[in-house]
Structure 1
Amino acid sequence: MAKNDPYAALRIKEFNIFLLVRFALVFGWSMQFVVIEWQVYSMTDDKLSLAIIGLCEFLPAFFLAPFAGHIVDKKEKRNLFTLCIALFSLISFGLFWLTSDQIESTWEMNFVLYSIYGLVFFGGVLRAFFGPTIFSLIALLVPKKIYPNAATWSSSTWKGANVFGALCGGFLIAWIDVHFTLGIIFFLVMISLILVFGISKKPILNKGNSETVKESLKSGLNFVFNDKVVLGALTLDMIAVLFGGAVAIFTVFAKDILDAGPRGLGILNAALSSGSIITMLATTYIPITKNTGKKLLISIFGFGICMIIFGASKLMWLSVLTLFFAGVFDGISMVVRQTILQLKTPDHMRGRVGAVNSMFVGSSNELGAVESGIAAKIFGAPLAVVLGGTITLIVVVVIGVKNQPLRDLDLQEDIKAHEKEVV
């Protein structure tokens, strides 16, 4: 195998199956996010309802994540992943059913709305398990020396699915309506459920560990909070998503500010993700390993600048362009963060560290939706995004000054060490 082989991870059959499964799931989940945001906002015409959706998914995803990490470390990963997908299919079918003509004509609007919130909450429970399960499973599919390459392809697949999922979600709402779009999502989830059986069961690396739940949770949190590089990387990404992100209120921009409709909503979502995936694919050929810390800081600073411009824009072409470059910067930060976690996390703690990562970054998407919805309600959507981008810039500067280990981080030595390991 070539030393800098950009396709190293893709030469492993089970990893390819994993990527297909992940693409189908994220494609469906991304479409579902767009569809539900549009449906709920259309039902209520209230920006606060977008915050409620984020809150329903954030609460279980955040508070259950540490316990999920403990369970993931002690359970077989393939079967756990399969169970998560099967339960996700129930959510998808439930949303498909709730938006049918029969339900809408016989049920009161508030009952349908609360049922949607309930399914979103259930989805948050699953999100607590999906993150650490996927993070742990990747490490069991490829040798350590190609973790960075696997992390790049996995992140690229995730972003690629977001591109097409968000784009198709907006266009399909316009073409075939919400109900049938949710039917397609259910079909995608069922495909992923079939494909996952192409991955064999994996060994349980933490099977003999007799730690109590409390001790297990404490050790996972201690690892993250005692490592300044890991903690700094997670904090930066969390702040960028929490305050700098505006995905949850793209519906407001598309409908009320840019007058672009559901197609415009799909384009806005796709613009952000397309910039990310192009950048991530580029890093398979040009690895971001030298001066890694500085590149992470610069990328998140650039993301904040782009979001400020987006918040101030009232032109569709300018909004799409700034979101594309925001995605470019986001792609760099995502690859760096995933590579740091894969290289620095001990095998027996991957579930717990993956859970903390979900708490910091995954759950911040939902909490960011809450923050965006409330801020948009108070200040208006444009000013809310500008303020969020400004907060992101301030945090980047503070962490860049205070966290020297992260600022001076260079991953080349870590990667060389792993390449020398005998697998």
Structure 2
Amino acid sequence: MSAEPRSALESPDFRTLTAARFLLAFSRRMQTLVMAWQVYALTHDPLALGLIGLVEAVPALALALWAGDVVDRGEPLSIYRGVIGGSLISVGLLLAAGLPGAGLSEARHLALIYAAAFIAGAARGFSQPALYALVPRLVPRAALARSSAWITTAFQTASVIGPGLGGVLFAWKGAQVPYGLGAALLLCSLLMTAAIRPPAAPAAEPAAPGPAESAWRRMTSGLRFVFADEVLLPALALDMFAVLFGGVEAILPIFAADILRIGASGLGLLMAAPSLGALLGSALMIHRTPNRGAGKLLLSVVTGFGVCIIAFALSRDILLSAALLALAGALDSVSMVIRGAIVQLASPPGMRGRVAAVNSIFIGTSNELGAFESGAAAKLLGTVPSVVCGGVLTLVTVAGAALWSPRLRAMDLDGFKS
């Protein structure tokens, strides 16, 4: 048997998992852009754009606690394969809707797009619990913070290429080409996971709770753990409220079509810009893992994120807008790396799936419900005023978190590694 890898990339299985994660994210990000553009083209309604996020969030959030329990009592790799399969069904539905003989009315086409978002959300409810439970089986504990940076870098790389290429392909040949490419990438991702052979869970890890414990108590144990932790709860809440208020991705089609007037290709640039910045930010975290002063760094980068969002709302130049989104993405990626490291390092081995499920609830609330909030706020207040208000509320959130949790301000990742 080979020796335990000393770093994340020394594990062939971790490299394969990271590549499979890249292809899954590539497909999903491309699909998200095309769905958003199609919905806005059909409705010209900011609320309809926000509904994509809400429809995806409902199953993801509803299934999250159960998914965490399933992961902790089952095989994370098999469950992750199911996530990829569910995503494949989602994009397959979108492909079928665009077939020449489909003859769908605008209302039915819109309904199928929302159905595809619902299926993708259901699959995603299992994604993070499975991934966060699997990675510690593939890399040593001391490498978990850096493995979080690698996973984030892979996701952000896909998020740069996916929207950019998706926008170009959509403008060139319509929706079927990016959807078809997305399906092919998901098939490749599924095949790659077949090569992963994770070791059995160490005997020292506590077994999953026995049948004497009720299913509800098992599923909610992750919630109890997070809400009792003086670092996990404020860290997750900080990220949730910052992105909930400050996220703008759901209404970028409005900026592209009506404010900056740059079309579908320009929308691809705007959607790719945060991920390009995030790619640079997460790549920096690979080489400079924020072990010391991580709490102060977390508060600082979320503050910068809020300032960038306010400036983006006021910009009328495409290059300045893209640069501000890129900087916001870089700052957000540092927050993602720190949060991912905290979740994996602070979780008991037998509860990794359930704690990750709680993390996914926080993320889903901020991303998908944040998308709905963005659309609703844009409809009520106007697009630009709603984004400015969101950035201001992000800054208020940081101030509140800093006052609420002295332990978060003083947090070092080194304290979790023993």
Q: Is the Cα contact below 8 Å between 1:74 and 1:206 reproduced in 2?
A: no
**Cα deviations across residues 152-195 of structure 1 (Å, max 9, x unaligned)?**
10111111111111211111111221111101111111111111
Equivalent positions of 1:312-351 (< 5 A) are 312-351=314-353
Give me the whole-angstrom Cα distance separating, in 2, the residues matched to 1:221 and 1:191.
Answer: 35
Residue 152 of structure 1 pairs with residue 149 of structure 2: yes
TM-score between both structures, scaled by the size of structure 1: 0.94
The verdict on how the C-alpha distance between 1:153 and 1:264 changes in structure 2, with shifts beyond 3 A counting, is same
Q: Is the Cα contact below 8 Å between 1:73 and 1:206 reproduced in 2?
A: no
Match of 1:405 in 2: 407
Match of 2:236 in 1: 234
Give me the whole-angstrom Cα distance separating, in 2, the residues matched to 1:102 and 1:28.
Answer: 25
Match of 2:266 in 1: 264
Match of 2:39 in 1: 40
Structure 1 SS opposite 2:200:
coil
Structure 2 SS opposite 1:198:
coil
Deviates more, 1:206-215 or 1:303-312: 206-215
Match of 1:184 in 2: 181
Give me the whole-angstrom Cα distance separating, in 2, the residues matched to 1:132 and 1:95.
Answer: 26
Structure 1 SS opposite 2:174:
helix
Match of 1:95 in 2: 94
Give me the whole-angstrom Cα distance separating, in 2, the residues matched to 1:408 and 1:184.
Answer: 46
Structure 2 SS opposite 1:146:
helix
Once the 2 structures are TM-superposed, how far is the Cα of residue 202 of structure 1 from its aligned partner?
5.1
Once the 2 structures are TM-superposed, how far is the Cα of residue 231 of structure 1 from its aligned partner?
0.6
**Cα deviations across residues 38-59 of structure 1 (Å, max 9, x unaligned)?**
0111111111111111110111
Residue 194 of structure 1 pairs with residue 194 of structure 2: no
Give me the whole-angstrom Cα distance separating, in 1, the residues matched to 2:164 and 2:400.
Answer: 36
Once the 2 structures are TM-superposed, how far is the Cα of residue 325 of structure 1 from its aligned partner?
1.0
Match of 1:221 in 2: 223
Once the 2 structures are TM-superposed, how far is the Cα of residue 387 of structure 1 from its aligned partner?
0.7
Once the 2 structures are TM-superposed, how far is the Cα of residue 116 of structure 1 from its aligned partner?
1.6
**Cα deviations across residues 53-80 of structure 1 (Å, max 9, x unaligned)?**
1110111111211111111111111111
Once the 2 structures are TM-superposed, how far is the Cα of residue 201 of structure 1 from its aligned partner?
5.2
Structure 1 SS opposite 2:287:
coil
Q: Is the Cα contact below 8 Å between 1:96 and 1:180 reproduced in 2?
A: no
Give me the whole-angstrom Cα distance separating, in 2, the residues matched to 1:328 and 1:82.
Answer: 29
Residue 168 of structure 1 pairs with residue 165 of structure 2: yes
**Cα deviations across residues 302-352 of structure 1 (Å, max 9, x unaligned)?**
000000000111111111111111112111111111111111111110111
Give me the whole-angstrom Cα distance separating, in 1, the residues matched to 2:156 and 2:129.
Answer: 18
Q: Is the Cα contact below 8 Å between 1:58 and 1:364 reproduced in 2?
A: no
Once the 2 structures are TM-superposed, how far is the Cα of residue 208 of structure 1 from its aligned partner?
4.6
Give me the whole-angstrom Cα distance separating, in 1, the residues matched to 2:206 and 2:81.
Answer: 20
Match of 2:54 in 1: 55
Residue in structure 1 matching 2:112, options 102, 112, 115: 115
Q: Is the Cα contact below 8 Å between 1:37 and 1:50 reproduced in 2?
A: yes
Give me the whole-angstrom Cα distance separating, in 1, the residues matched to 2:59 and 2:208.
Answer: 29
Deviates more, 1:81-90 or 1:268-277: 81-90
Match of 2:26 in 1: 27
Residue in structure 2 matching 1:389, options 378, 383, 391: 391
Q: Is the Cα contact below 8 Å between 1:155 and 1:280 reproduced in 2?
A: yes
Which stretches in structure 2 are left out of the alignment for 5+ residues?
Answer: none
The verdict on how the C-alpha distance between 1:375 and 1:22 changes in structure 2, with shifts beyond 3 A counting, is same
Whichever residue aligns with residue 209 of structure 1, its letter is P
Equivalent positions of 1:274-289 (< 5 A) are 274-289=276-291
Structure 2 SS opposite 1:28:
helix
Q: Is the Cα contact below 8 Å between 1:303 and 1:329 reproduced in 2?
A: yes
Q: How many residues of Structure 1 are paired with residues of Structure 2 in the alignment?
A: 409
Deviates more, 1:194-203 or 1:130-139: 194-203
Whichever residue aligns with residue 192 of structure 2, its letter is L
Structure 2 SS opposite 1:311:
helix
The CA RMSD over aligned residues, in Å, is 1.5
The verdict on how the C-alpha distance between 1:76 and 1:32 changes in structure 2, with shifts beyond 3 A counting, is same
Give me the whole-angstrom Cα distance separating, in 2, the residues matched to 1:212 and 1:203.
Answer: 26
Once the 2 structures are TM-superposed, how far is the Cα of residue 107 of structure 1 from its aligned partner?
2.1
Once the 2 structures are TM-superposed, how far is the Cα of residue 206 of structure 1 from its aligned partner?
6.2
Whichever residue aligns with residue 95 of structure 2, its letter is F
Q: Is the Cα contact below 8 Å between 1:78 and 1:202 reproduced in 2?
A: no
Give me the whole-angstrom Cα distance separating, in 1, the residues matched to 2:237 and 2:412.
Answer: 18
Give me the whole-angstrom Cα distance separating, in 2, the residues matched to 1:346 and 1:137.
Answer: 14
**Cα deviations across residues 84-126 of structure 1 (Å, max 9, x unaligned)?**
21222111111111122322xx222211211221121121111
Once the 2 structures are TM-superposed, how far is the Cα of residue 412 of structure 1 from its aligned partner?
2.6
**Cα deviations across residues 379-402 of structure 1 (Å, max 9, x unaligned)?**
111111111111000010011012
TM-score between both structures, scaled by the size of structure 2: 0.95
The verdict on how the C-alpha distance between 1:208 and 1:327 changes in structure 2, with shifts beyond 3 A counting, is closer
**Cα deviations across residues 252-273 of structure 1 (Å, max 9, x unaligned)?**
1011100011111111111111
Match of 1:420 in 2: none
Equivalent positions of 1:302-317 (< 5 A) are 302-317=304-319
Identity %: 38
Give me the whole-angstrom Cα distance separating, in 1, the residues matched to 2:208 and 2:271.
Answer: 45
Q: Is the Cα contact below 8 Å between 1:131 and 1:358 reproduced in 2?
A: yes
Structure 1 SS opposite 2:20:
helix
Q: Is the Cα contact below 8 Å between 1:61 and 1:363 reproduced in 2?
A: no
Q: Is the Cα contact below 8 Å between 1:65 and 1:128 reproduced in 2?
A: yes
Give me the whole-angstrom Cα distance separating, in 2, the residues matched to 1:329 and 1:88.
Answer: 28
The verdict on how the C-alpha distance between 1:61 and 1:202 changes in structure 2, with shifts beyond 3 A counting, is farther
Once the 2 structures are TM-superposed, how far is the Cα of residue 207 of structure 1 from its aligned partner?
4.9
